Amino acid sequence: MGVHNAVAELPAMKTNPKFIFFTDFDGTITLQDSNDYMTDNLGYGHEKRRQGNLDTLEDRITFRDSFRGMMDSIKTPYDQCIQFLLDGIKLDPYFAEFYTWALENNIPVVVLSGGMEPIIHALLEKLVGPTAEKMQVVGNHVAARPGKSINEEGGWEIQFRHPESGFGHDKSVELRKYSSLPESERPIMFYAGDGVSDLSAAAETDLLFAKQGHDLINYCVRENVPFTVFQHWSDILEKCKAIVERKTTVQEAAKEGFEAYKSGAAMGKITTTK
């Protein structure tokens, strides 16, 4: 793929960056998972939602089907769902600092989410501010149910980006567009995530940041996927700065992550997430 074609098809390549940071949204940029938060409070509740996550990790159900069940259990009008989330979801306290640094250093930030794009855009606008529009967001969509308005009771449903995939949104599809670039054009690719919807992305980037205490770490160890651990975005910022300034490499960072896991430092309290 030539440079001009790459820019046309891949917005994050517009400034010819040497690094791109891909990230999950829910529970990674934010402290809470917005979809879990809705399901626990407006849908069928925490216990059934958690069991669905566990069943997904054990391959008893696909993420797509588990997640559709979660969203179908929420009957609240869509505009009210968004307001509910705007009132309750908080940003990781260090993300804004990381994002400012990324903008200053020509490191595009691309959100790859198993959630719904309208919710993510609304939350980013509130939590990050005007510069959030510089972030590309790739997620699922939402539509009105037949004969209904999206903003009436039981009026909306999720529309998956990749309905044929067990992930609903297979994040590896977007990542491979970048990883398949010629070596002379391909940027170093980072990814941050925490749970089930990140499984398809885990092996596709140069350095995976897996959130401390969450199930993505268990998956990476089971599948022998290199990773490094973060608790907050201050950890990510410190590691990325070291790599950009050539004080360490992505390979060394991943090795440190696995050693931290073996020592027990990476785990903490396990939380089942998407």
232 pLDDT above the threshold of 60: yes
The amino acid present at 228, given as its one-letter code, is: T
Q: Which of 237, 208, 138, 186 is nearest to 13 (CA)?
A: 186
Verify whether residue 26 is a known catalytic residue.
Answer: yes
Average pLDDT, the chain: 90
Confidence of residue 266 (pLDDT cuts 50, 70, 90): low
Q: Residue 227 in contact with residue 258, Cβ under 8 Å?
A: yes
> CA 144, CA 156: separation in Å to the nearest integer?
4
Tens digit of pLDDT for each residue in 168-185?
999 999 999 999 999 999
Q: Output the pLDDT for position 243.
A: 96
260 pLDDT above the threshold of 90: no
Scanning the structure block, which residue is given the tokens 């070291």?
242
Residue of 255 and 270 predicted with greater confidence: 255
Q: Pick the catalytic residue from 24, 33, 92, 198.
A: 24
Q: Output the pLDDT for position 74.
A: 98
- Phi, psi dihedrals of residue 10, rounded to the nearest 5°: -125, 95
The residues near 209 (Cβ < 8 Å, ≥ 6 apart) are: 190, 191, 192, 193, 227, 228, 229, 230, 235, 236, 239
Q: CA-CA distances (angstroms) from residue 183 to 3, 179, 218, 231, 248?
A: 12, 9, 31, 32, 20
Instruction: With H, G, I as helix, E, B as strand and everything else as coil, classify residue 20.
Output: strand
271 pLDDT above the threshold of 70: no
Tens digit of pLDDT for each residue in 207-221?
999 898 887 887 787
Confidence of residue 8 (pLDDT cuts 50, 70, 90): low
Q: Residue 261 in contact with residue 217, Cβ under 8 Å?
A: yes
Q: CA-CA distances (angstroms) from residue 35 to 4, 31, 59, 78, 126?
A: 37, 12, 20, 12, 17
Instruction: With H, G, I as helix, E, B as strand and everything else as coil, classify residue 9.
Output: helix
Confidence of residue 7 (pLDDT cuts 50, 70, 90): low
Q: What is the pTM of this model?
A: 0.90
Q: Output the pLDDT for position 88.
A: 97
Tens digit of pLDDT for each residue in 30-79?
999 999 999 999 999 999 999 998 898 788 999 999 999 999 999 999 99
DSSP element (H, E) containing 211: strand 207-211
What residues does 116 pair with on adjacent strands? 140
Q: Pick the catalytic residue from 26, 33, 206, 235.
A: 26
DSSP symbols for 112-166: EEEEEHHHHHHHHHHHT-GGGGGSEEEEEEEEEPTTS-TTSTT-EEEE-SBTTST
Verify whether residue 24 is a known catalytic residue.
Answer: yes
